[in-house]
Amino acid sequence: MMVMLRVLLGIVIMIVIVLLNTVLVMWIERKLLGHIQSRLGPMRTGFHGLLQPIADAIKLLGKEDLVPAGADRILFLIAPLIAFTPSMLVYSAMPWVSEFAGMSFDVGIFMIFAISAMFPVGVLVAGWASHNKYSLIGGFRSAAQQISYEVPLILAVMGVVMLAESMKLSAIVEAQSNIWNIVTQPFAFVIFFIAMLAELNRVPFDMPEAESELVAGFNTEYSSMRFALFFLAEYANVFTWSLITVLLFFGGWAGPVLPGVVWLLAKTYAVVCLIIWMRATFPRVRVDQLMDIGWKILLPASLLNVLLTAIGVVTNLVVLTVLGVVATVVLIALIARLGTRAGDSLRAEVRP
């Protein structure tokens, strides 16, 4: 009975913490985007618009929950739940869950991948059930994209797992007590970060909802709280994956003087800001380019990373770092080549 209560309490606390952070991520996104674009962002609701996400949520709750005519009603109604649930469920595999829930996964990172793979199912179902051509294309894009990018994502993490010799997140963090994985695994980090942006449907890979092409993609037809659930799920995922990035590559909660939780959050929000910065800077890639990058560049690169890590494990970490840096430079050059043509200029010729 006590165990049950503790677990229940743990779940409630966890969800509240995650949702609070999600709301904070939304606010940071709006403020940071605003300042990058020479404007202020929300200013009216609370201190510097801090309550804006709450106000938005209240507004959404007050809206009518529309189901379009011709929609597959049941699927349409449950799709947001399918998308939202995994974004909360992943926290069951986080390393600190053992503190208050008394259970711990030995294959934490594996569990996280398994759960988060459910998100595109929700998107696909939403796209299909909406009875809208834009939603349908958005849903298909999402399914294709997430399947393509999950492979390099998981393979990139393989390198980290090989170094820690464990899939347990706490073990991975402890393995970084001397040196962070970002130093020994820069190549894996770059692959992981790019694939993660695709997994999150973030710019430059925001194909499924590509506003300028597909109106709002898979959630075109959603309104009210069902729209809010998709929205929440996406921002919760941004927070979650930033957290996972920190756990895998930036030494997790390790840091001097301040308590671990402060370090963890500080690092996580640094990654969140990086993702938002990308959104402010980049246009969107095209569907076929997205597939090209995923299958032709990132997948071979992530396999190469497994090989390089194996070499590093049997020789030493300095070799691994050097190899990783070289491979990273080559990878970035490869991706950057996408936009160049041989022997041409980037300026117009001005003739009298």
Partner 1 sequence: MMVAPATIVPIAASLASLAGVIDVRPLGAGGIPRVSTSAAGVVEMLRTLRNDHGFADLTLLTAEETDSSDGVTLVYELLRRADHSRVVIGVDLLDSELSAPSVSGIWAGAAPLEREVYDLFGVDFTDHPGLSRIVLRDDFVGHPLRKSFVAGETGVSAEQVAKALESHGDRLPGGEVPRATASLFAAARKPGDPQLRSERLILNMGPQHPSMHGVLHLWLALDGEQVVAAQPTHGYLHRCIEKLCESRDHRACTALLDRCDYVSGFHTELAHVLAIEELAGIESTPKADHLRTAMSELVRITSHHTWYAACGLDTGALTPFLYAFIDRELILDFFEEVTGARMMFNYFRPGGVKDDLPPGSAERIIAYLKGFTRAVDEYEALLTDNEIFRARTRGVGILSRQQITDFGVTGPMARASGVDIDLRRDEPYAAYDRIPTRVALAEVGDSFDRYVVRIAEMRESARIALAALEGLPEGPHLNPDVPRVIKPPRGTAFRWVESPRGELGVYVVSDGSSRPWRLKVRSPAFSNLHVCGQLLQGLRIGDVVAVLGSVDVVMGEIDR
Residue among 212, 314, 342, 343 that touches partner 1 (CB under 8 A): 212
Of the candidate residues 204, 208, 252, 294, the single one contacting partner 1 (CB under 8 A): 204
Give long-range contacts, CB 8 A cutoff, 24+ apart: 70-76.
70/131, 71/129, 71/130, 71/131, 71/221, 72/128, 72/129, 72/131, 73/129, 75/125, 75/128, 75/129, 76/126, 76/129, 76/130, 76/221
State which of residues 4, 38, 64, 314 lies at the interface with partner 1 (CB under 8 A).
38
Q: Looking at residues 222 to 251 of the shown chain, list those that interact with partner 1 (rule: CB under 8 A).
A: none
Size of the site for partner 1 (CB under 8 A): 43
Contact between 42 and 59 (Cβ < 8 Å): no
Candidates 42-50, 201-209, 258-266, 298-306 — which segment interacts with partner 1 by CB under 8 A?
Answer: 201-209
Is residue 279 a contact point for partner 1 (CB under 8 A)?
yes
Tell me: does residue 336 bind partner 1 (CB under 8 A). yes
Lay out the site mask for partner 1 across 17-36 (x = CB under 8 A, - = otherwise): ----------------x--x
In terms of C-beta density within 10 A (0-12 exposed, 13-18 middle, 19 or more buried), how is residue 339 classed? exposed
Task: Output 98 or 281, the one with its CB closest to partner 1.
Answer: 281
Footprint of partner 1 on 53-112 (CB under 8 A): none
Binding of partner 1 by 124 (CB under 8 A): no
Q: How far apart are CA 298 and CA 190, in angstroms?
A: 10
Q: Which residues of 163-195 are buried (b: 16+ CB within 10 A; e: fewer)?
A: bbebbbbbbbbebbeeebbbbbbbbbbbbbbbb
**If 0-12 CB within 10 Å is exposed, 13-18 middle and 19+ buried, where does residue 104 land?**
middle
* One residue of 286, 322, 325, 330 binding partner 1 per CB under 8 A: 286
276 binds partner 1 (CB under 8 A): no
* Positions in the binding site for partner 1 (CB under 8 A): 33, 36-39, 133-134, 137, 203-204, 206-207, 210-215, 279-289, 335-336, 338-341, 344, 346-352
